Amino acid sequence: MNAAAGLAATWDLRQGERELLLSCLGCIALGFVLVLGSEHAAGRQLTASAVLPLLIYGLSLIGLHLALVLLRFRGDQVLTAVVACLAGFGLLAQYRMGAFAGTLGVDNPELYLIPAGFAAMLLTAAAGANGRYRWLAKGLWLWAGVSLVLLVVLLVTGTRFRGAVYALGFTTPTEVLKITVILGLAAYLEQHARALARWHPRFPLLPPLRALWPLLVFWMLLLGLLALQRDLGMIVILSVTLLVVLVRATGRVGYLGYGLLAAAGVGALVLTFFAHGQRRVEAWLDPFQDPTGDGWQILQGLSGMYAGGLWGEGFGNGSPEYTPIARSDFIYAVIGEELGFLGCVLVALFFLILVQRGIMIAGQARTDFGRLLAAGLTTVLAVQTLLNLGGVTKAIPLTGITLPFISHGGASLLTTFTAVGLLLAISDGPPGAARRPARTVKRPPAAGATPPPAPAPAPRPVERPARPRRRPAAAKTP
């Protein structure tokens, strides 16, 4: 009886999510009819399997919601709706680009990408809910090790294509780094945040190297391996995330300064020594220098957007096939062409809400690990989105990364869904607390947990003898 009451309470609690998911389904269905109509108008035969993607998408949404209710999940409701909308846009865009064309019908693996994503998200959220995600912090060295080993294995066994490295079947397992590295980072910073916040008292520009060096060494290895794979996008995403999380954990803006310095140095290095990077920057600064070569892709994307204008041609009525690699990296240009500038603004707003939810979840998490993990994952999503949008619109150089939820690519899709699953798990709140809405939960630990003003830590006396030695030197200088 108690269980049934809890279920009913959750059903009521998640009414908002239900409404949002249903409007989302309606919106995507409208777009789907539009795409189907233009497919038919273009002379393609419609069979019953043409409706399968929408059907499966709708069933996934319903299944997701029911499962969350059954699990009595208390976590964020807007986040699931936003992800459902973005994935729906992705479905329409991929359908429009011919992902479900052909005679495969129910055997088409493309059909099950989005449901698989939802499943991954749900499983992650369920597994990590009720504060269980904190166990992930114990795997600090596992995450670091897995990340590096994955990169090495990929370098040894992978195949190069268009400069980047791919594993078997053109998958990009490095996408997983967006989770494992952030997990490791959050775990490390949770343990060492205090030490990392204690910058040198006399030389305020000197960070605490003793606490920093394991992180630095790991990062050097990571960036080195990524540089070997020429995965510039991943380097930028992970490095920005490192800085954001470092500052978040320690409250020291100085790390940002060092990060910017390092970025400037590495950037200059790449530009002077790698012709590859130079060409990209040149194609970015002046695509008209070589409009039919280096500038072709970006200019075709922009041409499509320009042709789309304010309202767009309507889903299925543009000609995005003229833009190279439109299905993955340039899917935003497809949206710009078919839904116009307005469609782009809508997509950007959904992403902005996604980021807002992430930041909110990070702010409300009750543990340092949860805070840092949520902040890290949110930063990854935000930076990835901005890098893609900026690259396609020529605001920044192209980095060749996907747009979360919308671009084609199984590994990228699953990783992003899993990351959102982690965010959902963190948003579910602390363990033990009764299955009540989060707002009624007072913070009993807040008062008790504040550490009593500890007696002077033991190391201090050890440090002291060093000081007198420095003092005369300091006195001499003036």
| Residues of this chain, 350-379, that bind another protein according to CB under 8 A | 350-353, 355-356, 359-360, 362-364
Query: Among 91, 87, 71, 75, which residue's Cα sits nearest to residue 17?
Result: 75
* Nearer Cβ to another protein (139/254): 254
Q: Which of 19, 153, 163, 267 binds another protein (CB under 8 A)?
A: 19
In the complex, minimum distance from the CB of residue 88 to another protein, in angstroms, rounded to a whole number: 10
Contact string (CB under 8 A) for another protein, positions 389-408, x = contact: xx--xxx-------------
* Nearer Cβ to another protein (231/337): 337
Site for another protein contains 155 (CB under 8 A): no
Q: Point out which residues pair with 166 in neighbouring strands.
A: 159
Size of the site for another protein (CB under 8 A): 82
Q: Which of 5, 8, 51, 153 binds another protein (CB under 8 A)?
A: 51
| CB-neighbour burial class of residue 149 (10 A; exposed 0-12, middle 13-18, buried 19+) | exposed
Contact string (CB under 8 A) for another protein, positions 105-144, x = contact: ----------------------------------------
Candidates 62-70, 140-148, 186-194, 294-302; binding stretch for another protein (CB under 8 A):
294-302
Q: Which of 13, 24, 61, 222 binds another protein (CB under 8 A)?
A: 24
Q: Point out which residues pair with 159 in neighbouring strands.
A: 166
Site for another protein contains 254 (CB under 8 A): no
Query: Among 160, 136, 156, which residue's Cα sits nearest to residue 148?
Result: 156
In the complex, minimum distance from the CB of residue 302 to another protein, in angstroms, rounded to a whole number: 5
Site for another protein contains 299 (CB under 8 A): yes
In the complex, minimum distance from the CB of residue 426 to another protein, in angstroms, rounded to a whole number: 14
Site for another protein contains 300 (CB under 8 A): yes
Candidates 32-40, 62-70, 212-220, 457-465; binding stretch for another protein (CB under 8 A):
32-40
Site for another protein contains 322 (CB under 8 A): yes
* Nearer Cβ to another protein (158/318): 318
Place of tokens 């729906």: 88
* Nearer Cβ to another protein (278/289): 289
Contact 27, 90 (CB under 8 A): no
Site for another protein contains 285 (CB under 8 A): no
In the complex, minimum distance from the CB of residue 307 to another protein, in angstroms, rounded to a whole number: 4
Contact 81, 359 (CB under 8 A): no
Dihedral over alpha carbons 354, 359, 363, 366 (to 10 degrees): 60
In the complex, minimum distance from the CB of residue 370 to another protein, in angstroms, rounded to a whole number: 14
In the complex, minimum distance from the CB of residue 155 to another protein, in angstroms, rounded to a whole number: 32
Site for another protein contains 319 (CB under 8 A): yes
In the complex, minimum distance from the CB of residue 378 to another protein, in angstroms, rounded to a whole number: 8
Contact positions with another protein (CB under 8 A) in 410-469? 439
Contact positions with another protein (CB under 8 A) in 193-252? 244, 248
Cα 336 to chain centroid distance, Å, stands at 22
In the complex, minimum distance from the CB of residue 403 to another protein, in angstroms, rounded to a whole number: 12
Site for another protein contains 473 (CB under 8 A): no
Contact positions with another protein (CB under 8 A) in 62-91? 78, 81-82, 85
Site for another protein contains 302 (CB under 8 A): yes
Site for another protein contains 313 (CB under 8 A): yes
Site for another protein contains 50 (CB under 8 A): yes
Give the tokens for residue 231: 């995965």
Site for another protein contains 182 (CB under 8 A): no
Distances (CA, A) of 420 to 202, 254, 278, 300, 386: 42, 30, 35, 33, 17
